[in-house]
Amino acid sequence: MVVMGQVFAPYGIKGWIKVLPYTETIDSLLDFPSWWLGREGHWQETRVIEAQVHGKSVVARIEASRDRNDAERLKGMQVAVPREMLPEAGENEYYWSDLIGLQVVNPEGKILGLVESIIETGANDVLEVKGEKTCLIPFVSEFVLDVDMKGRKILAEWGEDW
């Protein structure tokens, strides 16, 4: 599963939910007829009845939520889709979920740690790398020299003491 967003609030009284998308474009979730809701890897499929962009979020009416009480219970749930439903990433493009857990090393061979998360800053994405210490490495070609998905490694121009 690839997490695409999170339910953050009910919307109205008829069971609609508000979702904060984690996607590059806000309307990406609208492409999927079903979403999988869950926490900690326990997923339940639900059909999307109706959905639309609402400011910087998506509001949706889904099968799993018939009234405001149902929508309240869904607050905090992650919204995901199966990996095979996503289009192939282009050359030098990566899904965030594919980068999580990759080992990060510098050109000197020093292991900096593992990608724990990715932070969207507006200007560029930033890798949060946890090892002996936490590093925040901008995901730009100046610092990220190579991403080896098969080898599960990222080569980053980053010093141990930065």
- Tell me how far apart the alpha carbons of residues 59 and 49 are, in angstroms, rounded to a whole number: 11
Per-residue pLDDT band at 64 (split at 50, 70, 90): very high
Question: Does residue 112 carry a pLDDT above 80?
Answer: yes
CB atoms within 10 A of CB 80: 23
HSE of 157, CA atoms in CB hemisphere, 13 A: 7
Per-residue pLDDT band at 37 (split at 50, 70, 90): very high
Q: Is domain 96-156 in CATH 3.40.50.300, yes or no? A: no
Whether pTM > 0.75 for this model: the answer is no
pLDDT at 65: 96
Written out in words, the top-level CATH class of the domain with range 2-85 is: mainly beta
Residues above pLDDT 90, as percent of the chain: 76
Residue extent(s) of CATH 2.40.30.60 domains in the chain: 2-85
3-state secondary structure at position 112? strand
